[in-house]
Amino acid sequence: MEIRKQRNDDDGSNAGVVIPSSVSSRWPGRLAAVLGGILAAGLGTALHAHIWYLAGIGLPAGAIGAVLLATCIAVFVAVAARSVPLAALTGVVAYVLVGLTASFSAGGVIAAGVELDGAVPPVGVAGYVWVVGLAVGTVTAVAVSWWALRPPRRR
């Protein structure tokens, strides 16, 4: 969106006129959303398997950090481009890339269904937190972006 000033005929003051963006000016935002999704998927996947052990209990700190990182990237892209749907696009790109990475990687990437002494290992929990958290983080990023970009209330 672009705001231009023009003379108001009624009282001679300058009034702002909002001019919608052209289609070609939306491509940088879309490109930023795709690149943000790639960045979130790559960094989040590398980070999610870090486990902190406190008193013998494995906490998926890396997965929580990865979800927060992906959410922040999506919000940043949407607010910078002033477009809420770009937060969703960023999250969808990240989610698709995480799914493709899990599907086509050699070896046991996902520890789903693996149990050690009747419990899911901490790395398996971290994987679940990363995959489910990425979806929740995307919805959260859309909500936060909408809140940040909403028009101010009139009083």
Is 12 part of any domain?
no
Is 124 part of any domain?
yes
Report the pLDDT value the prediction gives residue 34, as an integer from 0 to 100.
96
Is 97 part of any domain?
yes
Is 75 part of any domain?
yes
What are the pLDDT digits (tens) for 61-88? Answer: 999 999 999 999 999 999 999 999 999 9
Is 16 part of any domain?
no
Q: Assess whether pLDDT exceeds 90 at residue 13.
A: no
Query: To which residue do tokens 């046991």 refer?
Result: 108
Q: Assess whether pLDDT exceeds 80 at residue 19.
A: no
What are the pLDDT digits (tens) for 82-115? Answer: 999 999 999 999 999 999 988 886 655 555 555 5
78 touches 87 (CB < 8 A): yes
Is 101 part of any domain?
yes
Total structural domains in the chain?
A: 1
Query: To which residue do tokens 């940043």 refer?
Result: 76
Which whole number is the average pLDDT over 136-149?
A: 96
Residues 6+ apart with CB under 8 A from 34: 89, 90, 93
Q: Please give the structure tokens belonging to residue 116.
A: 């050690």
Domain of residue 56, residue span: 25-149
Is 1 part of any domain?
no
Is 46 part of any domain?
yes
